[in-house]
Amino acid sequence: MVFKTLGEVDLMDEANRIVREVLDLVAEAVSPGVSTKSLDAMAEEHIRGAGAVPAFLNYRGFPATLCTSVNDVIVHGIPNEIPLAEGDIVGVDCGVLYKGYYGDAARTFAIGEISDQAERLMHATRESLEKAVEAIGPGRFLSDIGHAVEAHVAKQGFAVVRDFVGHGIGTKLHEEPQVPNFGAPGRGPRLKAGLVLAVEPMVNVGTADVRVDADGWTARTRDGLLSAHFEYSVAVTDSGARVLGQMPSAA
């Protein structure tokens, strides 16, 4: 595990601020008829204009700036020309590299009026991320994070995805440790100031099981039911946790 200085954490805050700006732009733009490809173009333009580089573009061959994951797609959806439709939900994940440090965050957006079930899923996922942040602080255990997520999600009757996990982040997009969204509390290394974690619950209405499309990226729920995804990059501080990029708090 790599521990960052306060100066490095400040740089990562700046990287995540650019990510937050992108997600705010997406929030304004998403509506029925808009394609995820057009959101992707907007995101790339903003990132480059801010002096940063899209972190996902060409990462292990990923072909876009954003991951856009519609309805039953859990994560890693590839932007395309298909217009978003009333009632869809779309997870938008954005990563940037800025001054040598990565930022990584995601939100799920509603397209127009969505079902009560979709609304509850998005809300529960967002809340589970907030519970995860509350579980982060010096001296806490790594597995307290996943436990907080899973406990909250289970209470809502939804399922946490186990095939994908959060991660450390810094001068690499993915660093040690892995941050699962499930498990018993009180296990794993203790958290220490300077550790920065990308915490990213992925929550399904039905089964937790995943299948990946022939494109090698698009990860869907095996039963075709909805999935939602929210992510923050979070620094462990001397007194608790700092969500990087001044992300808006849960609505």
In the list 104, 127, 150, 175, the residue contacting Mg ion (rule: CB under 5 A) is 104
Q: Give the chain's largest Cα–Cα span.
A: 48
x/- mask, Mg ion, residues 133-172, rule CB under 5 A, reads ----------------------------------------
Would the CA dihedral through 13, 15, 19, 21 be positive or negative?
A: positive
Q: Which stretch binds Mg ion (CB under 5 A): 102-110, 143-151, 204-212, 236-244?
A: 102-110
175 binds Mg ion (CB under 5 A): no
Report the interhelical angle of 6-29 vs 36-49 (nearest 10°): 140
Q: How far is CA 89 from the centre of its chain?
A: 15
Distance CA 123, CA 170 (A): 28
Q: How many CB atoms lie within 10 A of CB 83?
A: 15
Q: Residue 93, interface with Mg ion (CB under 5 A)?
A: yes
Of residues 242, 220, 200, 177, the one with CA closest to residue 104: 200
Cβ nearer to Mg ion, comparing 65 with 71: 65
- CB-nearer residue toward Mg ion: 19 or 118: 19
Return the range that interacts with Mg ion (CB under 5 A); candidates 31-39, 91-99, 134-142, 175-183: 91-99
Q: Any alpha helices (H) in the chain, and if so which ranges?
A: 6-29, 36-49, 116-134, 142-155
State the Rg of the chain over Cα.
17
Identify residues 219-238 at the interface with Mg ion (CB under 5 A): 231
Q: Cα dihedral sign for 155, 75, 131, 108?
A: negative
CB of 104 to Mg ion, least distance (A): 4
Q: For Mg ion, which is the closer residue by CB, 132 or 198?
A: 198
Interface with Mg ion (CB under 5 A), residue from 198, 202, 226, 234 = 198
- Indicate the residue among 92 and 121 with the shorter CB distance to Mg ion: 92
Least separation in angstroms between CB 211 and Mg ion: 20
**Chain residues that interact with Mg ion, rule: CB under 5 A:** 93, 104, 106, 198, 231
